[in-house]
Amino acid sequence: DDPRAAGLAGRHAVVPLFDQQVPILTDPAADPTKGTGVVMCCTFGDTADVAWWRQHDLPLVEAIGRDGRMTAAAGPYAGLPTAAARQQIIAAIAATGELLAQEPLAHSVRVHERCDTPVEYVIASQWFIRVLDDKEALLAAGEQIAWHPSHMHARYRQWVENLGWDWCISRQRYFGVTFPVWTCDGCGATILADEAVLPLDPTVTPPKRPCPACGGAAFTPEQDVMDTWFTSSMSPQIGGQWQPPGAGGDNALYAQVFPAALRPQAHEIIRTWAFYTIVKSRFHFDALPWRSVAISGWGLAPEGTAKLSKSRGGGPMPPLEMIALYSADALRYWAASTGPGKDAIISEEKIQAGARLATKLWHVARFSQRFLAADGAADGADEAPPPTALTPADRWILARAQQLIQRATALFEQYDYATAKSETEIFFWRDLADNYLEMAKQRLYDGGEAAAGARFALRAALLTTLKLFAPILPYVTEEIYLALFAASDGAPSIHRARWPRAEPRWQDDAALALGDALLEIATAVRRHKSEHGLSL
């Protein structure tokens, strides 16, 4: 319907330099509002070219080889890299006077994710798993999984809905899991290795018997290797040590862990790791691989434009240097400062804050150690001290600890680890370190019955703090736990200890109200001393 194209359909255009005649065709996919409305189709520039090649039964011209260089079809430009060939072709057209104009253009080009080299399409035989026929079932599987955050389910759904081809599981690489397949040199039949002899590398081991189709004895081994997602999509089975029927295993562990409760992963591999794991679990076991998915975000470069990576860098220093300088706990502190599914710009300031927190935890533990028994238990740790031994400050910190346990546990169960970390940090810095220890310090030094209540409350508050911080700061919390609490708490590691549970006997609204009043008084006293230059 484009009047500019009237009379062109059915005719031929002549390619400069090569004098090749190409047919002029009409197609509804050509957009008359874009430029001249005329689109060049080659084999191949993009997926649209693939569709037109098939739809219009166009000839196949392979001008670029697998090595990224021009082929014999490019005539005098054969052997040149694509960029060099492009420059020579432009110069040749200019020399003939057929180059009418040149101007800078900005257009979308697919490039390699690490080196930014433009990606070219080439013809190659590949191995595929048919998934397009199962789109509805795969969409239904996604609906049955709890996604955290919930909006990440849309990425999975959109990927499945827009699938345009089946799953290509082969790659042309030097390393990978081999396909146990040979091709008969005589008749071209595909020969699959017997399951009983797997695993097997066909480039090393030939078939054990002649070709069943023609009786031939000469074979070519499959050179391709499997896509990494084809094997990593079996991670539930690998982790559960699944054994196929007849292999002799009892699959007891697999029965315990499949389906798993949770798959943690990043958002950019929803379309690969999450999707393909669901595919494999459905095809092999007709089951979901897990009940929930927790999606993390990226760590971004300081300018926030690209993710941190080994190939691109982008952080203030390499990760191992950062860990050596600030500790792994400090780096984890930064990573846990942003909620599920959200990207986080790398922040050395936050990493430093994490290092300060770990140091403060250590200092509080060192201070507390002298008042706790050598085995990590306070006097009377198994039983609460008499109520008369607990001061209002003791009851307040115990009540605040119960509040925190309930709140942080609920947040962790909602996968909101960032807020759980933040609220635990407030409790530790403001309530425990800055205020309660100051209130209890003199009693702890004096000893006697009054100190028993302070030791009990300190032990409970510090142990609660460590356990709630343990998922975020696993190393410093483990060291303190082993030194102070492991013997009395009954666990060999804080990461195997019982999660804290709120105790009704220490839930005390009156103590909380009184504690808030004490905090206001303490804050006012500090402010007055600071303003008047008095010793704090």
Does residue 301 or residue 148 have the better pLDDT?
A: 148
Q: What's residue 516's pLDDT? A: 85
The residue assigned the tokens 């846990």 is 336
Contact 266/126 with Cβ under 8 angstroms? no
Task: Indicate the helix (H) or strand (E) that contains 229.
Answer: helix 228-232
Phi, psi of 163 (to 5 degrees): -55, 130
pLDDT digits 0-9 by tens, 220-231: 999 999 999 999
Does residue 110 or residue 289 have the better pLDDT?
A: 289
Q: Domain 128-179+224-296 classified CATH 3.40.50.620?
A: yes
Closest to 308 measured CA to CA, from 350, 267, 346, 349: 346
Contact 298/268 with Cβ under 8 angstroms? yes
Percent of the chain with pLDDT over 70: 96
Q: What's residue 263's pLDDT? A: 96
Question: Does the CA dihedral 439-445-449-452 come out positive or negative?
Answer: positive
pLDDT band, residue 145 (cuts 50/70/90): very high
Helix, strand or coil for residue 158? helix
Domain ranges (residues) in the chain: 3-96, 128-179+224-296, 328-337+345-531
Q: pLDDT averaged over the chain?
A: 89
Contact 266/296 with Cβ under 8 angstroms? yes
Question: Which of 120-129, 187-196, 240-249 is the least confident region?
Answer: 240-249
pTM: 0.82
What's the CA gap between 401 and 412, in Å, rounded? 16
pLDDT band, residue 51 (cuts 50/70/90): confident
Task: Indicate the helix (H) or strand (E) that contains 531.
Answer: helix 509-531
Q: What's residue 455's pLDDT? A: 92
Q: Domain 3-96 classified CATH 3.90.740.10?
A: yes
Phi, psi of 167 (to 5 degrees): -80, 110
Residue range 263-290: average pLDDT?
Answer: 96
The CATH code that applies to domain 328-337+345-531 is 1.10.730.10
